[in-house]
């Protein structure tokens, strides 16, 4: 079983011709509300697209937005382990999506900032703990230490990008980052390959957008090309990749197979608006792979 511990947000999404630059006001078109947040997105991806039994530990506010998260996560067959935070709003994200599928996101953490070390549940049935950086770093470090003591594989999606203690990276079994996050963590500007070598984690995976992804596992490099698509909305594409990769590895897939399945699921996510609502089923991913 996979435990995802992380964030949940209600996404307020506006579609516009382009993403505004600082000081610019852009007249948008449609406005919609979706369930999102890196933790919740990755949990739904683990279960729905990856086919793995999944729990989600998340802090929710005492407001109507919490019900949006609960309904979406449960619809994805994820077992929800909610921490209720009184007098605090559920996390929220404000997203502008351009006509070419790119997005700009601002997050108000709300209840996510109140997820604490003592909230970690029993890990006796957990094989992998999947974390992100939208909850307090002290809590993440405490969760990682507890998981390592119990022999649980630790997977960290180091997003949003920030400097991390080397001691934390040494405890992480699988680190998943995008190219910008990789360069920030490795303090490397010359090449992706050099940056991969500089990080102390046993396995490092970097997503490269239209160039696919690259992974270093026990000194071996794996490369997976991106699947050609016309993206409608890239929101949750990275989260889907993370969740499905961990799900595949937890079920015994080799690295090349896991990277291919995760890349396909991520591509399919870009074809639909929204975060959790855009995550495909495992059957849809399998059918997509049959044609590619």
Tell me the pLDDT tens digit for each residue of 154-189: 999 999 888 899 999 999 999 999 999 999 888 888
Q: What is the mean pLDDT of residues 90-110?
A: 89
pLDDT at 103 (0 to 100): 83
Selecting among 11, 173, 233, 239, the annotated active-site residue is: 239
- Would 28 be classed as within a structural domain? no
Average pLDDT, the chain: 93
- Would 53 be classed as within a structural domain? yes
pLDDT at 189 (0 to 100): 81
Query: Does residue 291 register a pLDDT over 80?
Result: yes
Whole-angstrom distance, CA of residue 187 vs CA of residue 89 = 36
Q: Where are the beta strands (DSSP E) in the chain?
A: 2-6, 9-15, 31-36, 54-61, 79-85, 91-97, 103-108, 128-131, 153-157, 174-178, 203-207, 213-217, 220-224
| Nearby residues of 163 by Cβ (< 8 Å), 6 or more positions away | 184, 185
> Taking the CA of residue 88 as centre, how many other CA atoms within 13 Å lie in the half-sphere pointing to its CB?
18
- Would 121 be classed as within a structural domain? yes
Query: Does residue 148 register a pLDDT over 80?
Result: yes
Whole-angstrom distance, CA of residue 175 vs CA of residue 159 = 10
- Give the range among 68-72, 94-98, 129-133, 204-208 with minimum mean pLDDT: 94-98
Q: Tokens standing for 206?
A: 């970097």
- Would 24 be classed as within a structural domain? no
SS3 content of the chain, % helix, strand, coil (to 5): 40, 25, 35
- Would 101 be classed as within a structural domain? no
Q: How far is CA 236 from the centre of its chain?
A: 7
- Would 50 be classed as within a structural domain? yes
Per-residue pLDDT band for 99 (boundaries 50, 70, 90) equals confident
pLDDT > 70: percent of the chain = 100
Q: What are phi and psi of 289, to 5 degrees?
A: -65, -30
Residue 10 · residue 69 · CB < 8 Å = yes
pLDDT at 39 (0 to 100): 97
Active site residue 239: yes
Q: Tokens standing for 10?
A: 């209600």
17 versus 102: the higher-pLDDT residue is 17
Tens digits of residue pLDDT in 44-92 = 999 999 999 999 999 999 899 999 999 999 999 999 999 999 999 999 9
Q: Tokens standing for 278?
A: 């855009």
Strand-strand pairing, 79-85 and 203-207:
unpaired
Whole-angstrom distance, CA of residue 228 vs CA of residue 240 = 17
pLDDT > 90: percent of the chain = 75
- Would 69 be classed as within a structural domain? yes
- Would 208 be classed as within a structural domain? yes
Per-residue pLDDT band for 292 (boundaries 50, 70, 90) equals confident
Q: Of 201, 202, 214, which Cα lies nearest the Cα of 241?
A: 214
Counted domains in the chain: 1
Supply angle C-alpha 22, 37, 86, rounded to 5: 105
Residue 7 · residue 37 · CB < 8 Å = yes
- The CA distances from residue 26 to 19, 21, 82, in Å, are 8, 9, 37
Question: What is the domain-level CATH number for residue 255?
Answer: 3.40.1190.20
Q: What is the mean pLDDT of residues 269-285?
A: 89
Tens digits of residue pLDDT in 189-198 = 888 888 888 8
pLDDT at 219 (0 to 100): 87
Tens digits of residue pLDDT in 106-142 = 989 999 999 999 999 999 999 999 999 999 999 999 9
Q: Tokens standing for 263?
A: 């890349």
Question: 78: domain range?
Answer: 2-7+37-89+112-290
Report the b/e string of 163-196 with b at 16+ CB within 10 A: ebeeebbebbbbbbbbbebbbbbbebeeebeebb
Q: What is the mean pLDDT of residues 1-20?
A: 94
Whole-angstrom distance, CA of residue 257 vs CA of residue 244 = 11
Whole-angstrom distance, CA of residue 151 vs CA of residue 123 = 9
Query: Does residue 274 register a pLDDT over 80?
Result: no
Q: What is the mean pLDDT of residues 200-228?
A: 93
């Amino acid at each position: 079983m996979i435990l995802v511990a992380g964030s949940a947000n209600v996404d307020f999404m506006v579609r516009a011709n382009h993403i505004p630059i600082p000081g610019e006001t852009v007249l948008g078109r449609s406005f919609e509300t979706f369930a999102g947040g890196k933790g919740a997105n990755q949990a739904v991806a683990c279960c729905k697209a990856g086919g793995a039994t999944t729990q989600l530990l998340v802090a929710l506010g005492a407001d109507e937005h919490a019900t949006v998260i609960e309904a979406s996560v449960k619809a994805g067959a994820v077992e929800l382990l909610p921490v209720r935070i009184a007098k605090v709003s559920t996390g929220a994200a404000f997203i502008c999506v351009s006509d070419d599928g790119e997005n700009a996101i601002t997050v108000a953490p709300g209840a996510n900032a109140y997820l604490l070390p003592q909230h970690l549940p029993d890990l006796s049935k957990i094989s992998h703990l999947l974390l992100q950086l939208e909850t307090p770093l002290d809590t993440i470090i405490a969760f990682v230490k507890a998981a390592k003591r119990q022999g649980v594989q630790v997977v960290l999606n180091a997003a949003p990008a920030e400097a991390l203690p080397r001691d934390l990276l040494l405890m992480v079994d699988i680190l998943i980052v995008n190219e910008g996050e990789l360069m920030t963590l490795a303090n490397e500007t010359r090449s992706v390959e050099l940056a991969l070598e500089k990080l102390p984690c046993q396995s490092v995976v970097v997503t490269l957008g239209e160039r696919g992804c690259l992974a270093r596992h026990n000194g071996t490099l794996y490369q997976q090309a991106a699947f050609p698509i016309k993206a409608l909305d890239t929101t949750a594409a990275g989260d889907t990749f993370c969740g499905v990769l961990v799900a595949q590895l937890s079920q015994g897939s080799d690295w090349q197979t896991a990277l291919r399945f995760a890349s396909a699921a991520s591509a399919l996510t870009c074809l639909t608006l929204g975060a959790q609502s855009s995550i495909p089923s495992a059957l849809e991913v399998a059918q997509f792979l049959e044609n590619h």
